Amino acid sequence: MLDSNESTTKLLTMNDHFKTLWALFDAAFKKAKALEIKSDELENYMHTGGLAIGKSFSRSFEIDSLKGRNTRKGFHITIFRLENSYELVSYVL
């Protein structure tokens, strides 16, 4: 069982690896929800196509509210396509 500091750290972990691109996006959406991020831009986003090995993809989503408060921050994600997996780097800034 994680204590509150460990669980917060787990949510804020910047690098995670996934077998599929769709699992990565699913995890990014779950992470945003766990951090109480409300973003119409993120909720309506649909990624089409794949990502070639050795390439990366970055996107910033405007946050409408964070933990119930209006904000001008953004939820930033970068995806790196590795040989056997995808790496997600995400943060709020």
- Render pLDDT for 43-69 as a digit per residue (tens, 0 to 9): 999 888 899 999 999 999 999 999 999
Instruction: Return the pLDDT at 80.
Output: 96
Averaged pLDDT score across all residues of the chain: 86
Q: State whether the Cα torsion 43-28-90-46 is positive or negative.
A: negative
Compute φ and ψ for 55, nearest 5 degrees.
-100, 165
Note the pTM of the prediction, 2 decimals: 0.77
Convert the pLDDT of each residue in 9-54 to its tens digit.
444 456 789 999 999 999 999 999 999 999 999 999 988 889 999 9
Mean pLDDT of the 70-74 span: 93
